[in-house]
Amino acid sequence: MTRRLLWAFPPVALLALVFLYPLTLVVQQSFQPDSGGTSLQPYTDVFASAAFREALWTTVWIAVASTAGCLVLGFLLALIIAFVPFPGAKIVARFVDVFLTFPSFLITLALLFIYGTTGIVGSFQFLTTPWGVLLAEVTYFTPFVVRPLLAAFSQLDTAQLEAASSLGARPLRIIRRVILPEALPALAAGGSLVLVLCLNEFGIVLFTGAKGVTTLPMLVYSKAILESDYPGACVVAVVNVLISVGLYALYRVVSRRAGA
Amino acid sequence: MKGDIPFRGIRFDSVTVAYDGNVVLDSLDLTVEPGEVMALLGPSGSGKTTALRAVAGFVRPASGRVFLGGRDVTDLPPYRRGIGMVVQQYALFPHMRVEENVAFGLKAQKVPRGEIRGRVAEALEMTGMAAYGRRYPRELSGGQQQRVAIARALAIRPGVLLLDEPLSALDARLRSGMLAELARLHRELPEVSILYVTHDQVEALTLADRIAVMDRARLRACGTPRELYRAPANEFTASFVGGANLLPVTVGEQGVRFGERRLEVSGPVPEEAAVLCVRPHLVGLGDGPNRISGTVREIQWRGATHRLYVEVDGHRVIADLRELKEPPAHGDEVTLHFSPDDAVLLTAGARHD
């Protein structure tokens, strides 16, 4: 028993040193206003500021809207890849896997080439608006929904679809009544993962150069780097971490239900 | 063509199905009469399931037409064919209760809401599953799930029922029970034509009005179980429908000869080389007409019967005998015989290799 604890010690210590310790520092800093001492002052300051409330709202609605977009687009794409036999379906599925390894800013960069001020369709100025961020996030995160859906669809017995069809169900009814109910766990798992990732997305927001779009991670960045308001940045970071952890817990519950 | 006469049979009109140039069903001509049970019997890869799927609309024939009740349905999608289908792996919808599964086809066909309840109950009643309506498929045994699948197919009152190896996933004891159930269902629904795909000759012999024997994408024989069993048209049919001893014989002026022996065979005699077919249970031990003798190579005691493998001039003859009081020993010389009525001569050459 003691020996096992001995083995457990190095990784735990390492984890604590490189990860948990800085995190505690962030939490600690958030309770230490520049004026000195320990107080809730930074929290009341930040919560009272319009910038924070706006950033919170922007973060949440963009994340929720992106997730919804990813779910709809991902479901349609996965349906086509899995059930419409077309040459190259396997390659497309493989590409989805590769896509997951791309860095997020790459998509934004690519979008800049098309929609940016010097891009192909330069007259569109929407990339610097929240819609640009939304488009980039939906583009980037959709494969995160497609992946689990394809796994779920591969488990689906095609005999069920044929049975439904011979019973007189048209394709739309089969999708609604047979495929969708069986894809729900995968949709929930993929959706909550995308939601968490969207809430914390930094690269895409930064790269679109959307001045008016300030999300929580952007707020942390601007407070800490541009304004040197460390306590304020830490408060926002703590809020962001709490939301993420809360959603992660939700994701775990959902994915365990799904047996994934 | 039957034209306008509404009948609910199935007709294959030289239906050919090919995947990537690979012919899996070669110009099948077959008619299933209204209310008839037709078994498609054959080994795996014989094209029997493909034929069924062509009726259901899941494969498109490369050429030929499929008729349902006199109507050409070759170009109709599956959901417009009004067919009941039951497959080996049940294919129930796992997230729906039993009654929802059965109601699925009725809802898809826009049956009035008030009528659905009664018809679901009726279908479940018919398959003996009335008490299980609120259960989910995973809470049922394999046999029960198959009954639900049958109820689901029957609920839409199809004119044609397609059964694709429906009993293969069940264990032997359940299988014979379900076989009796299917026979009862057919007696209760005499107007439904059934196409029953199986590789099991017992299922085909028990249930079918006629059997179509398939092998390597082709129809090899079609007839009543009795015809196919008593007078098979070729070697493949003889060996696939019930076991058979197939002995090469020569036909000449002195009659039918097996090696040096002269055999008496009633019935038509083909020219020259032929194959003699005798069912193992029609071979007797001891002296009698058409006696042949050989060496016992193997004895299997099967409870009610003894199965003897006897080597006669290098050919193996199987004899299924009522349990013997004093069975011969391994290596003994024995004499076998069979009645001239019980042997059939097949033309050689149409050999299954």
The C-alpha of A157 sits at a distance from chain B's nearest C-alpha, in angstroms, of 7
Interface membership of B57 toward A (CB under 8 Å): yes
Q: Is residue A160 part of a domain?
A: yes
**Backbone φ, ψ for residue B287 (5° rounding):** -80, 155
- Which of A157, A158, A160, A167 has the most B C-beta neighbours within 10 Å, making it the best mutation to test the interface with B? A167
- Which of B59, B93, B148, B197 has the most A C-beta neighbours within 10 Å, making it the best mutation to test the interface with A? B93
Q: pLDDT tens-digit profile of B323-343?
A: 888 889 888 999 999 998 888
Give the E-state strand segments of B176-242 in sequence order: 193-198, 210-215, 218-223
Residue A118 has a pLDDT of 62
Residue B84: which of B10, B20, B7 has the closest Cα? B10
Q: Is residue A193 part of a domain?
A: yes
Which chain A residues contact residue B80 at CB under 8 A?
Answer: 168
Residue B317 has a pLDDT of 92
Give the length of chain A.
260
Q: Which CATH number belongs to the domain containing residue A168 in this structure?
A: 1.10.3720.10
C-beta atoms of B79 and A178 within 8 A? no
C-beta atoms of B105 and A160 within 8 A? no
Domain with A143, as residue range(s), is: 49-258
Domain with CATH 3.40.50.300 in chain B: 10-235
C-beta atoms of B85 and A163 within 8 A? yes
Least confident among A69-78, A90-99, B154-163, B184-193: A90-99
pLDDT at residue B264 is higher than 90: no
A110 neighbors A222 (Cβ within 8 angstroms): no
Task: Give the number of A-B residue pairs with CB atoms closer than 8 Å.
Answer: 68
Interface membership of A160 toward B (CB under 8 Å): yes
Residue B83: which of B70, B93, B68 has the closest Cα? B68
The C-alpha of B146 sits at a distance from chain A's nearest C-alpha, in angstroms, of 13
- CA B214 to CA B224: how far, in whole Å? 14
Residue B20, helix vs strand vs coil: coil
Task: Kindly report the CATH number that applies to the domain delimited by B10-235.
Answer: 3.40.50.300
C-beta atoms of B156 and A167 within 8 A? yes
Q: Is residue A84 part of a domain?
A: yes
Return per-residue pLDDT of chain A as tens, 260 residues: 678 888 888 888 898 888 888 888 888 888 888 777 788 888 888 888 888 888 899 999 999 999 999 999 999 999 998 888 788 888 888 888 888 888 888 877 887 777 666 656 655 566 677 888 888 899 899 999 999 999 999 888 889 999 999 999 999 999 999 999 999 888 988 898 899 889 888 888 887 766 678 888 888 888 888 888 888 888 888 988 898 888 888 878 876 776 54
Q: pLDDT tens-digit profile of B14-52?
A: 999 998 889 999 999 999 999 999 999 999 989 999 999
> What is the rounded radius of gyration, in angstroms, for the C-alpha atoms of chain B?
24
Which chain B residues contact residue A176 at CB under 8 A?
Answer: none
- CA A133 to CA A139: how far, in whole Å? 10
C-beta atoms of A182 and B56 within 8 A? no
B52 neighbors B40 (Cβ within 8 angstroms): yes
Q: Predicted ipTM?
A: 0.82
Q: pLDDT tens-digit profile of A88-122?
A: 888 888 888 888 888 888 877 887 777 666 656 65
CA B264 to chain centre: 31
DSSP code of residue A37: S
Q: Is residue A23 part of a domain?
A: no
Domain with CATH 2.40.50.140 in chain B: 243-347
Q: Is residue A248 part of a domain?
A: yes
Residue B113, helix vs strand vs coil: helix
Q: Residue A139's beta-bridge partner residues? A: none
Amino acid at position B186, single letter:
H
Fold adopted by B243-347: OB fold (Dihydrolipoamide Acetyltransferase, E2P) (2.40.50)
Q: Is residue A35 part of a domain?
A: no
Which residue among B58, B95, B105 places its CB closest to the CB of A167?
B105
Residue written as tokens 């394809």? A150
Across B23-40, b (16+ Cβ under 10 Å) vs e yields bbbbbbebebebbbbbbb
**Backbone φ, ψ for residue B310 (5° rounding):** -115, 130
Domain count, chain A: 1
Residue written as tokens 């099948």? B28
**Backbone φ, ψ for residue B211 (5° rounding):** -120, 135
Q: Kindly report the CA angle at B350 between B344 and B353, in degrees rounded to 5?
A: 110
**Predicted model pTM:** 0.81
